[in-house]
Amino acid sequence: MELILDTNFIVALEREARRQVPGPAHAFLQAHAADHYTLTCTVVGELACGQSASARRDWEKLCQPFPVIEWSRDIAWSYGELFRHLQTKGQLIGTNDLWIAATALAHDLPLVTNNTTEFSRVPGQIIHPFKT
């Protein structure tokens, strides 16, 4: 199975590696060893904003293990549909989370995240939760 990793998962994975103490993120990867993981352009952008990846080489190292789903018109259309749907219900989520969810929907892929509050508003079964 192919899964999209949310920013909070990569941050948790990085913290565990830095502390040299395996935790929930590493456990998730071990439990899903046969799966394939990818990032979205938005996740990669969010990672570039972090302090631990403020140097380009550190950011590259953080993102390097994972392929990135490139932006497409299908994702843009999915974003618009999702925006209208959530706006009508008065349940909009953050802009970056909207782009991440739109990518998951456009590619019909689950999203590994612990941000279930925001992403549970998205129609369909895109959430693949993990605990931190």
SS3 (DSSP) at 37: strand
**CATH at 15:** 3.40.50.1010
Domain span including residue 69: 2-129
Is residue 100 within 8 Å of residue 6, measured between CB atoms?
yes
Contacts of 123 by beta carbon, 8 Å cutoff, 6+ apart: 82, 85
SS3 content of the chain, % helix, strand, coil (to 5): 55, 15, 35
Confidence class of residue 97 from pLDDT cuts 50, 70 and 90?
very high
- Asked whether the whole model's pTM tops 0.85, one would answer yes
The number of distinct structural domains making up the chain is 1
pLDDT, one tens digit per residue, over 32-54 is 999 999 999 999 999 999 887 77
Higher pLDDT, 129 or 49: 49
Structure tokens at 67: 């392929």
Place of tokens 């509050």: 117
